[in-house]
Amino acid sequence: MSYAVTKSSPVLVAPAASTPTGTLPLSSIDCTAAVRILVDFISVFSHGEQAGVRIKEAFAKALVPYYPVAGRIAEPTPGVPVVDCTGEGIWYVEATANCSLEDVNYLERPLMMQKEDILPRPPSSVKFEDQILMAQITQFMCGGFAVGICSSHLVFDGQGIAQFLKAVGDMARGLPEPTVKPVWSRETIPNPPMVPHGGPPPSFTAFNFVTSVIEISPDIINRIKDKFTTETAKNCSTFDVITAMIFKSRVKAIKLANTSEVRLAFVANIRYLLHRVLPLSEGYYGNCIYLVGITKTSEEMNNSSLVDVITMVKDAKDDVSTKFVDWMNGGSDMHYNVPLDYGTLMISDWSRVGLNEVDYGWGYPKHIFPYNDDMNIVGSAIYLKPPIPKQGIRLMLRCVEEEHSTEFCHDLLKF
């Protein structure tokens, strides 16, 4: 049977009351090349009859305190994007599916529907890249629904978009205002001195990454934590364990020459480092992330034990504050610039940003999933919470090509 989705035409949901106009600056962190992308993801909810009507009204209410989200990205000065507070609103789509969530395996991978069916897009006449947020509510015959979101990484990081969607949930559940008051304050984040770069612009290779979804149980994670503590008399986190497992398994699988560089880069939350410049960091929903990482040779990694690699990850995390301050002060080492070749792996932890805690009135989502499958210039691993009631970590892996996938996944599951 073919499963179909019937979509309404996109409509603009404007703020429910009048909002300020004018332009607002983005921060120096917002404007780094690393975050000039649109991020697609879905949240799946087991029940919620006619969720679209309630959530549409909630978006309108939330856009009053979060009025910049109702605007558009503009670039009055080339290379300097800003938010133009037009008050136009967000593009919103309501849709119905001719099946139950169970019929399509709750939108798990591999997806049994076209992703275009469950993700929002504006009318063809609208410039896609200028949008800050779009939403689609797809109702299924079982009473469950999916929320498809497309958001600008220029305006939100993971914690920021979760904060906004929690505010929408607050409105949908009848609260008079968001539990967390939004803070813009992008202008308070210092602009680091520009470091001149010579040479031609970077070139990109498009890889044919395959998508794999693997779940790591709490038993495996705890066993490796205990081994690390036994050997080092120190503790390590779940992030340390999972990151070391992936890095080591991937290097082994891709079999680069012994002298080739292999790199791990991961996104660190730096809100705690900005508390002195942000008036209220709790409500700040801009980018508070910094890319740090590890560079080794393939031979060094293959000769390192898993405990050694966990130590590398911990050391890189410990260096975050020093390297970030160095970057803000115009240090010559531009830590955002990572070579985008097959030797590089990018890690992003979505399991703790709060997207699993968005409640529109029918409880938390069964699971969430990113859908940026067309991003093929660098290998990536995203950490997610597994579907309720499972525990542990779910990995969405798009970091090896077909010829290396079987060995990579097999090795990862051997730990």
DSSP 284-297: B-S--EEEEEEEEE
Cβ partners under 8 Å of residue 352, min gap 6: none
Between helix 402-412 and helix 238-254 the angle, nearest 10°, is: 140
Distance of CA 367 to the CA centre of its chain: 14
Of the candidates 189, 301, 304, the one whose C-alpha atom is nearest the C-alpha of residue 251 is 301
SS3 352: coil
* β 145-152/212-216 pair status: unpaired
359 is a catalytic site residue: yes
Beta bridge partners of 401: 209
Alpha helices in 196-257 (DSSP H): 218-232, 238-254
Beta bridge partners of 300: none
Of the candidates 146, 154, 198, 189, the one whose C-alpha atom is nearest the C-alpha of residue 33 is 154
- Exactly one of 103, 359, 373, 411 is catalytic; which is it? 359
Of the candidates 339, 299, 295, 334, the one whose C-alpha atom is nearest the C-alpha of residue 316 is 295
153 is a catalytic site residue: yes
Of the candidates 93, 78, 82, the one whose C-alpha atom is nearest the C-alpha of residue 13 is 93
- Exactly one of 153, 170, 240, 367 is catalytic; which is it? 153
Residues annotated catalytic, as ranges: 153, 359
